[in-house]
Amino acid sequence: MKKGFSLLSLITMFLMIILLAACAPEREEEAVTTDTNDGEADQPEELTIWANDREEQLEAIEKIANDYTEQTGINVKVETKPMMDQLQELSLAGPEGNGPDLFFQPHDQIGNIVAQGLADPLTLSDDELSNYASSSIDAVTYEFEGETDIYGIPAVIETYGIFYNKEIVPEAPETIRIRSL
């Protein structure tokens, strides 16, 4: 079960990396310009991800980043930042153009992130949206200045409660031992 969960997490994070690339702050372009536009969109030379400093998450993100680099030729730099420190650092680095292209934050921070101008809305196709439960997309959707937009890609789902069957467990236990997945 743990390997299946890890694979699902890896796939979700890979999709997140691809779809959140548009959230990067605009960076200053160098004065060198060329007229070799062959109809293809410009691609960055490098993307930066601020990843949580938890070892298992970092391993997964680094693998996804390496796979993405192999597939696209775009280098992905993974920097570790504790999740709780990311928003404060982003609020300082982002407006200066020194923030990451991708970062991870809980959905309940979207309002703060959007109000500070630290993320741009995403445009997802119906096919991309079909990969997620509508409730998870609702969690990363925010209305700001009269516009309702999606600002993130769901990466994980957390549960903050336990439900139990009173026919099987008539009284709630004082303690509970939970096995890891």
Using DSSP's 3-state secondary structure scheme, residue 9 falls into: helix
pLDDT at 37: 54
- Where would I find the H helices in the chain? 2-20, 55-72, 83-93, 110-115, 126-129, 134-139
Sign of CA dihedral 75, 78, 79, 84: positive
Using DSSP's 3-state secondary structure scheme, residue 174 falls into: coil
Contact 134, 121 (CB under 8 A): no
Give the chain's domains with CATH numbers: 2-24+43-150 (3.40.190.10)
Give residue 42's identity as a one-letter amino acid code.
D
Torsion of CA 58, 17, 152, 53, to 10 degrees: 10
pLDDT at 12: 61
Residues found in the chain: 181
DSSP summary character for residue 167: T
Using DSSP's 3-state secondary structure scheme, residue 91 falls into: helix
List, in order, residues 6 or more apart from 146 with CB less than 8 Å away.
Answer: none
* Cα–Cα distance list, 132 to 76, 82, 115, 135, 138 (Å): 25, 26, 25, 8, 10
Contact 19, 140 (CB under 8 A): no
pLDDT at 84: 84
pLDDT at 14: 53
Contact 43, 63 (CB under 8 A): no
Spell out the per-residue pLDDT of the chain, length 181, in tens: 455 555 556 556 555 555 555 555 555 554 444 445 555 668 889 999 999 888 888 898 999 999 999 999 999 999 999 888 888 898 888 888 888 998 888 888 888 888 888 888 999 999 999 999 998 899 899 988 888 999 998 887 777 777 778 898 888 778 877 665 4
Q: In whole angstroms, what is the distance from residue 27 CA to residue 97 CA?
A: 5
- The predicted model scores a pTM of 0.61
pLDDT at 164: 79
pLDDT at 32: 46
